[in-house]
Every structure is written in C-alpha cells, then in structure tokens.
Amino acid sequence: MPDLSAYAWWLGLAAALCAGLSKSGFGPFGLLTIIFMAEVVPALESTGVVLPLLIFADLMAVRSYHEHASWKTLRALLPATLVGIITGWWLMPHIPTEFFGHTLGWIILTLIGIIILQRSRPQLLPVITSHPLLGLACGWIAGITTMIANAAGPITAFYFLSQRHTKMVMVGTGAWFYFSINAAKLPFSYQLGLLTPQSILLDLFLLPAVGIGFWIGSAFLKKISQNLFEWILIVMAFGASLRMILKS
C-alpha cells in the first residue's frame, strides 16, 4: 500500500470521486481531480497518477453513453487535439506550470463570457460559433491543456455549449473524445516518466472511488433539465478558472 497520511488518502479518494463525476457529464469536476491530486503528490507527478483514473472513467462513460455521440463534432475536434497533445508534450519540460495555469484561467474566463453572450444575445455570435476554425482552435488548446495538466474539460465544455448540443450528446461525445485522447497520451506520459509502478499502485487503490463518482453523476444527470445542466457547467468552469488565476 502507498505510504500516505490519512489526510492524503482522503484527498486522493476525493480526486478519484471527482474523476468519476467528471466523466458522467460534469466535466469541470475534472479540475477538482487535478487540484486534489496535486496536494497528494507533486504537481507534475500527479498528472501521471490522474491519467489512468481518467481512462478507467472514460471506459465507463463510453459503455454508458456511446450511442449519443456526435461524430461530426468528434471529426471537428480530434485531429487538432492530437496536434495539441504533441505540442503540449514538447512544451511540458520548458514552461512553468504556474504560468500555464494563469494563462489557461484567463482563456477559460474569456470563453465563458462568449458562452453567456451567446445565450443572452444568440443573434450576435453565429459567425463565430458556426465557423470551422472554432473546432480547430478548441481542439488544439484542449490537446495542449490535457497533455500538460489534464485540464481540457472547460475548453470542451465551451465548444459543446457553443454548438448547442443536448446534455446527452455532450456526454456521449465527450466520452469518446476523452477516451481517444487520454489513450493517445499514454506513450507520451510514459516517455516523460510520469507513469511509474508507484503511481499505478496508487491508482489501483483509488479505482473504486472513480466508479462511485461515475454512478453518482449518472444518477444526477437523469434528474436535471438541459438548462440547469448547462448552467452547472458554466458556473463550475468559472470557479475553476478563478482558482487557476488566483493560485498562479
């Protein structure tokens, strides 16, 4: 068993629980996974611990929601995301995590502002939200952020909301999207020394909490309206972006 304090175990279990919640439809919970796990092990090493937890949750999400996926959206995002993963892999040894977190926080705040503007004045932004370059830009940024910090949730939440997908299409598309990119990150994470026997052992102890989080989130998803679901994503992404800015 990994040698952790009781407090660290509670944080690790909370991180795993949030990983499950994030894959059940509430993507911004994934940022809480990152925040909690960075308190258990050093920030860089925590990305190696988090990745297998996310892939386990991705598999549950694909099994539960695969039929709701929008393949058009996946085609718009995935190629640029893979380029972003390679970009993030190249950048990772060269940039301070603090600088990246601060910048990402401001990017997310800007995207949230665009979403709120779109909801309140839908006639103002159709050119932006329907432009094919939006998918390329969001995919590329998502690839960089997921490689460096496993933190692409707010970016994809923005893109899904901008396309006015239903909550089930968001969840189904996100399931396939994140399973694909997280699996693609495995060799890069291994090359960077982030996947180790110790990190995998810790993951094995935390996997049950991932399953519990996914079950809780799936049950809650069925009970809420589309409008409430969208506002939950917006508020959570807003809070996560502020946390990134203030911590950096």
pLDDT at 27 over 60: yes
Structural domains counted in the chain: 1
- Our CA dihedral for 194, 195, 197, 199, rounded to 10 degrees, sits at 70
What span, in angstroms and rounded, lies between the C-alpha atoms of 212 and 6? 20
Domain membership flag for residue 107: yes
Q: Which domain holds residue 56?
A: 6-247
In a 10 Å sphere around its CB, with 0-12 CB exposed, 13-18 middle and 19+ buried, how is residue 216 labelled?
A: middle
Looking at residue 145, what is its pLDDT? 80
What span, in angstroms and rounded, lies between the C-alpha atoms of 154 and 93? 23
Residues of the chain above pLDDT 90, percent: 23
Domain membership flag for residue 1: no
Nearest Cα neighbor of 4 from 36, 27, 31, 34 is 36
- Our CA dihedral for 32, 5, 200, 204, rounded to 10 degrees, sits at -80
What span, in angstroms and rounded, lies between the C-alpha atoms of 43 and 36? 10
Nearest Cα neighbor of 26 from 209, 211, 178, 220 is 220
Looking at residue 86, what is its pLDDT? 92
8 Å CB contact between 140 and 84: yes
- Average pLDDT (33-47) is 79
Token pair listed for 210: 């991932």
What span, in angstroms and rounded, lies between the C-alpha atoms of 19 and 27? 9
Looking at residue 117, what is its pLDDT? 66
pLDDT digits (tens, 9 = 90+) for 96-121: 666 666 766 776 677 677 667 656 66
Looking at residue 179, what is its pLDDT? 93
What span, in angstroms and rounded, lies between the C-alpha atoms of 150 and 36? 13
The residues near 233 (Cβ < 8 Å, ≥ 6 apart) are 26, 27, 28, 157, 161
pLDDT confidence band for 63 (50 / 70 / 90): very high
pLDDT at 236 over 90: no
Average pLDDT value for the chain: 81
pLDDT confidence band for 55 (50 / 70 / 90): very high
pTM for this prediction: 0.75
pLDDT digits (tens, 9 = 90+) for 140-187: 988 888 887 777 777 787 788 777 778 888 889 989 998 998 898 899
DSSP code of 248? -
